[in-house]
Amino acid sequence: MFEQLFHSINEKIQITGEDLGEIKQFFVSRKLRKRQFLLQEGDVCKYTAFVEKGSLRSYSIDEKGNEHILQFALEGWWISDQYSLFTGEPSSYNIDAIEDSDLLLITHASFESMMNKIPRMEKYFRLLLQNNMIALHRRLVASLSLSAEEKYTNMVNAYPNIIQRVPQHMIASYLGITPETLSRIRKQMSSVK
């Protein structure tokens, strides 16, 4: 159950087997069926989720009813609404499962206890956040400066695994383009190729 998580931690910091054992206590596991919600807009986000298996997405819905996908999370990724989690304010995002998934959940309170008990974990999360920031900056620059086609080829190169596992209209939403445009781009790319 904890393979992916332990792998992720070991990748970033030095940690003893004892500490890893300790860590288990702070989490609860949960299975989520495809299309099932982990968080719905208006609710307070209670957990940060780590994906052991499957895939989730977080997204917001604008006034016109359009979904905008913020993040995909496959195996080994974390997902939550940090803002809602920290402040206790109702979330403006939804998180649901794209495929049947196995998660490890940790509450804000457990998270803080874990940090106090195993201070070494501060570094793990700091590094995690740092990498996330870098990726998010890249995505932002892409969204500001690239054409629809460039955004897509960019994504294919950066996350080929996501492209394969996630429905096309979600990719479009993630890139901030319409499903129609994405369909046309793919058509044109395959004919040129």
Using CB under 8 A, list all residues that contact its own copies.
60, 62, 66, 68, 70, 82-83, 86, 115, 119, 122-123, 125-126, 129-130, 132-134, 136-137, 139-141, 143-145, 176
What's the alpha-carbon Rg for the chain, to the nearest Å? Answer: 18
If contact means CB under 5 to 8 A according to the sort of partner, which of DNA, its own copies, none does residue 134 touch? its own copies
**CB-wise, 76 or 176, nearer to its own copies?**
176
Please identify which residue in the block is written with the tokens 């993630």: 174
Contacts of 103 (CB under 8 A, 6+ apart): 29, 30, 31, 32, 38, 49, 50, 51, 52, 54, 56
Q: How far, in Å, CA of 113 to CA of 56, rounded?
A: 26
Among 167, 174, 189, 193, contact with DNA (rule: CB under 7 A): 167
Handedness of CA 143, 149, 155, 161 (dihedral sign): positive
Segment near DNA (CB under 7 A); pick from 49-57, 77-85, 119-127, 183-191: 183-191
User: Is 176 a residue that touches DNA (CB under 7 A)?
Assistant: yes
> Token pair of 182, please?
């994405």
What is the spatial distance between Cα 30 and Cα 81, in angstroms, rounded to a whole number?
Answer: 17
- Least separation, in Å, of the C-beta of 58 and DNA? 16
Q: d(Cα 23, Cα 121) in Å, to the nearest integer?
A: 10
In the stretch 121-160, what mask flags binding to DNA with x, by CB under 7 A? --------------------------xxx-----------
The verdict on 181 binding DNA (CB under 7 A) reads: yes
Closest to DNA by CB, 18 vs 63, is 63
Give the footprint of DNA on this chain (CB under 7 A).
64, 66, 147-149, 167-169, 176-184, 186-187
